Amino acid sequence: MGLSKSDLFSKEHNEIAALARAFAHPARVAIVFHLLETKDCINGELVLELGLAQATISQHLRELKELEIIRGTIEGTKMSYCINPDKWFEIKQVFDTMFDQFEQPTDGDCC
Amino acid sequence: MGLSKSDLFSKEHNEIAALARAFAHPARVAIVFHLLETKDCINGELVLELGLAQATISQHLRELKELEIIRGTIEGTKMSYCINPDKWFEIKQVFDTMFDQFEQPTDGDCC
DNA sequence: TAATTTCATCGCAATATTACGATTATCGAG
DNA sequence: CTCGATAATCGTAATATTGCGATGAAATTA
């Protein structure tokens, strides 16, 4: 069948998966990196930067926006997008916590 | 059309996306968390833990294994999986670097 | 050796994602 | 108000992902 019976999994696991999904496509990674560098951009700029159609980029932007990773404000006839600092730190926190969960197996080698 | 014209994107962006994909499904997140906690587990244990079929979990394990996030060794008729420490730290590094790329917009508010 | 246990793989169905052309809505310029 | 520019949305095709039953392979046990 299809996708994720999300009620099988804990809220935490579902949330991490949802956040990871945001970065699970190179176009969205590229968009985020572009925003990290220029801290201000428009859809059209990205259409030139990446080689994707306007509709496609708009769709990726919407996904990032729905997760509140980015914010957009209308700037005349253009749009200005930027990283949402609060969410950015929240995500960083979530992943940091996960990565720090790992303990080196001091005793023997496990496998 | 379909998926990612991965040659449109930089090697770095593709790699981040591939790593993020590993965590982009709650079942895989749950598996990783289970390994983080018990640092040793078998497929069958996970079938009880999560509510998925044996074949499904085996498939998720394979994806994690292909990315070298986990390793598995044969233990009699069972399998013993564990986190791959080297890869774990590498991934942590990749994400840390990305998250630290963000600079708070000191001057004005951008959007 | 035959039965059992455990996991991987195959093949397929169901669903999600990605991509894009076409259309629509909004704003600024003339 | 009309036109041009810009980005969101719609509809749809192509592709990827998930999930699982059935089957297969390898080791253990009886």
- In chain B the domains, ranked by start, together with CATH numbers, are 10-95 (1.10.10.10)
Collapsing DSSP to helix, strand or coil, A72 comes out as strand
Q: Is the pLDDT of residue A106 over 90?
A: no
CB contact set of B13 (below 8 Å; sequence gap of 6+): A26, A29, A30, A33
Give contacts of A9 with chain B, Cβ < 8 Å: 26-27, 29-30, 50
Q: Do B16 and A39 count as a contact with CB atoms less than 8 A apart?
A: no
CB contact A14 to B (< 8 Å): yes
Nearest to B10 by CA among A103, A3, A4, A37: A37
- Per-residue pLDDT at A102 exceeds 90: yes
Q: What is the pLDDT of residue B104?
A: 80
pLDDT at A18 over 70: yes
Q: What average pLDDT does this structure show over A78-83?
A: 95
**Rounded to the nearest 5°, which phi and psi values hold at B34?**
-60, -40
A88 contacts: CB under 8 Å, gap ≥ 6: A69, B99, B102
Of residues B74 and B39, the one with the higher pLDDT is B74
Which of B8, B23, B38 is best to mutate for the A interface (most A CBs within 10 A)?
B23
How confident is the model over B87-105, as pLDDT tens digits? 999 999 999 999 999 988 7
Counted across chains A and B, CB pairs separated by less than 8 A come out at 139
Residues of B in contact with A46 (CB under 8 A): none
Per-residue pLDDT, B7: 78
**Chain A, nearest residue to B12 by Cα:** A26
Tell me the HSE value of B55 on the side-chain side, using a 13 A CA sphere: 1
Q: What is the pLDDT of residue A105?
A: 75
The answer on pLDDT for B111 being more than 90 is: no
pLDDT over threshold 80, residue A73: yes
Instruction: Give B36's Cβ-side CA count (13 Å radius).
Output: 14
Residue type (1 letter), B18: A
Q: Which residues of B touch A1 (CB under 8 A)?
A: none
One-letter identity of residue A76? G
What is the structure's pLDDT at A104? 80
Of residues B2 and A86, which shows the higher confidence score? Answer: A86
| B79 Cβ under 8 Å from any chain A Cβ | no
pLDDT at A5 over 90: no
What is the per-residue DSSP string for B30-92? HHHHHHHHHS-B-HHHHHHHSSS-HHHHHHHHHHHHHTTSEEEEEETTEEEEEE-HHHHHHHH
Rounded average pLDDT over A90-107: 90
